[in-house]
Amino acid sequence: MAAGFRSFAAGMSQPVVALSQRLAGVLRFAQGVAGLTRNGDRWRIAITGGSAHEADGIVLALPAYAAGRLLESVGVTHARVLAEVVYVPSITVSLAYRAEQIGGALNGAGFVIDPDVVGARHVVPPQIRACTYASQKFPGRAPDGHVLLRAYLASGDGDPAKVAHAQLAAILTIRGEPLWSRVFYWTRGLPRYPAQHRERVAEVRHRLSRLPPIAIAGAGYDGAGVSACVESGRAAGRLIAQRTPR
Ligand SMILES: Cc1cc2nc3c(=O)[nH]c(=O)nc-3n(C[C@H](O)[C@H](O)[C@H](O)COP(=O)(O)OP(=O)(O)OC[C@H]3O[C@@H](n4cnc5c(N)ncnc54)[C@H](O)[C@@H]3O)c2cc1C
């Protein structure tokens, strides 16, 4: 199972860092888009803080709710449906252990808990929803003789690091305390699409085709996995390149 997974040696920041180095001087960072306006066949992008950019074409690689607001402001009223894509909050906890602390076998790349199945047998369903055996799934994630786990928790009471350790200890027969743990809060995590999402996005795109070159891309529209996001971004880039005069 683990053989099927691929990532970057230094983690998911690696391609972002590489791209930002390759495009240094062209790329501008930390530019919050406050507004869009049409300027003939071009666009004017207002940046938080007062500056602005002119553009021949735009890819809005933003969460659906943010893109929807900007598109409504340029007259694409239909884009308000994008606000119905709900981003579900979640918490991830990374925990490090010495290998000998883990009593149970770590088979595969991790596990997922079905809360309906577990809830039927437990008075209080566990807060943990899934766990990735990070050091087993990808090479180089922990020194020899150590294990790195990443737990996914639903929102709930208590210190997430303590909850994750206690529930993993019960499931994987872990002895003692973690060497360290770190909590990450995803207040707007994975998108959950409403009914007819695909048709709605297609309709928004159809309406965008009547404007100067502009496209939407990312997890809010075409699938939340990284590979789907990359494909969505490529398609948007191709569209803008086709429509932008050279
Ligand atoms: C906890 C968690 C674990 C995951 N694990 C996996 C996994 O193992 N494998 C996998 O394939 N996928 C995974 N995913 C899903 C995947 O990581 C995301 O769906 C994907 O990274 C989303 O990419 P994106 O570019 O569409 O959106 P984002 O990465 O959210 O980028 C949108 C950007 O738009 C910016 N923005 C918003 N508003 C504005 C504005 N007005 N002006 C300028 N910028 C703005 C934001 O700051 C943000 O940087 C996981 C997601 C979560 C939350």
DSSP letters of 177-240?
A: --SEEEEEEEEEEEEEPPTTHHHHHHHHHHHHTTSSSEEE-SHHHH-SSHHHHHHHHHHHHHHH
- Structural contact between residues 64 and 83, judged by C-beta atoms closer than 8 angstroms: yes
Residues 179 and 101 in one domain: yes
**In 3-state terms, what secondary structure has residue 153?**
strand
Residues 111 and 162 in one domain: yes
In a domain, 19, yes or no: no
The pLDDT of residue 209 is 96
**In 3-state terms, what secondary structure has residue 10?**
coil
Residues 79 and 168 in one domain: no
Structural domains of the chain, count: 2
In a domain, 108, yes or no: yes
Q: What is the pLDDT of residues 183-211, one digit of tens each?
A: 999 999 999 999 999 999 999 999 999 99
User: Which of 53, 71, 229 best tests ligand 1's pocket when mutated (most atoms within 8 Å of CB)?
Assistant: 229
Residue of 186, 185, 200 whose CA lies nearest to 84: 200
The number of residues making up the chain comes to 246
Measure 124 CA to ligand 1 centroid, in angstroms: 31
- Structural contact between residues 97 and 103, judged by C-beta atoms closer than 8 angstroms: no
Residues 115 and 162 in one domain: yes
Residue of 221, 245, 246 whose CA lies nearest to 233: 221
CATH number at residue 147: 3.90.660.20
Residues 101 and 179 in one domain: yes
| Strand 58-60 with 214-216, pairing | parallel
Measure 120 CA to ligand 1 centroid, in angstroms: 33
Label residue 118 by pLDDT band (50, 70, 90): low
In a domain, 13, yes or no: no
Which structural domain range is residue 141 located in?
Answer: 88-190
Residues 179 and 200 in one domain: no
Q: Which atom of ligand 1 is nearest to the CA of 191?
A: 19
Residues 102 and 145 in one domain: yes
146, 174, 190: which is the final residue of a domain? 190
39 HSE (CA, 13 A, CB side): 15
The residue nearest atom 19 of ligand 1, judged by CA position, is 224
Q: Is the CB of 62 under 6 A from ligand 1?
A: yes
Residues 106 and 178 in one domain: yes
In a domain, 47, yes or no: yes
In a domain, 20, yes or no: no
The pLDDT of residue 2 is 46
Measure 220 CA to ligand 1 centroid, in angstroms: 9
- Percent of the chain exceeding pLDDT 70 equals 95
Q: Is the CB of 5 under 6 A from ligand 1?
A: no
Q: What is the pLDDT of residues 23-33, one digit of tens each?
A: 999 999 899 99
- Structural contact between residues 81 and 204, judged by C-beta atoms closer than 8 angstroms: yes
The residue nearest atom 50 of ligand 1, judged by CA position, is 190
- pLDDT above 80: residue 121: no
Measure 219 CA to ligand 1 centroid, in angstroms: 7
The pLDDT of residue 201 is 98
Q: Which atom of ligand 1 is nearest to the CA of 217?
A: 26
Q: Which atom of ligand 1 is nearest to the CA of 62?
A: 34
190, 209, 234: which is the final residue of a domain? 190
Residues 127 and 106 in one domain: yes
**Is this complex scored with an ipTM above 0.90?**
yes
The residue nearest atom 24 of ligand 1, judged by CA position, is 218
Residues 92 and 180 in one domain: yes
Of residues 4 and 238, more confidently modeled: 238
Q: What is the pLDDT of residues 149-172, one digit of tens each?
A: 999 998 888 999 999 999 999 999
Q: What is the pLDDT of residues 38-94, one digit of tens each?
A: 999 999 999 999 999 999 999 999 999 999 999 999 999 999 999 999 999 999 999
190, 207, 226: which is the final residue of a domain? 190
Q: Which run of H or of E encompasses 166?
A: helix 160-172
Q: What are phi and psi of 91, to 5 degrees?
A: -125, 135
Label residue 4 by pLDDT band (50, 70, 90): confident
CATH number at residue 79: 3.50.50.60
In a domain, 37, yes or no: yes
Label residue 132 by pLDDT band (50, 70, 90): very high
Burial class for 82, CB neighbours closer than 10 Å (0-12, 13-18, 19+): buried
Residues 126 and 179 in one domain: yes
Measure 10 CA to ligand 1 centroid, in angstroms: 18
In a domain, 24, yes or no: no
Structure tokens at 222: 């075409």
In a domain, 185, yes or no: yes
Residues 167 and 201 in one domain: no
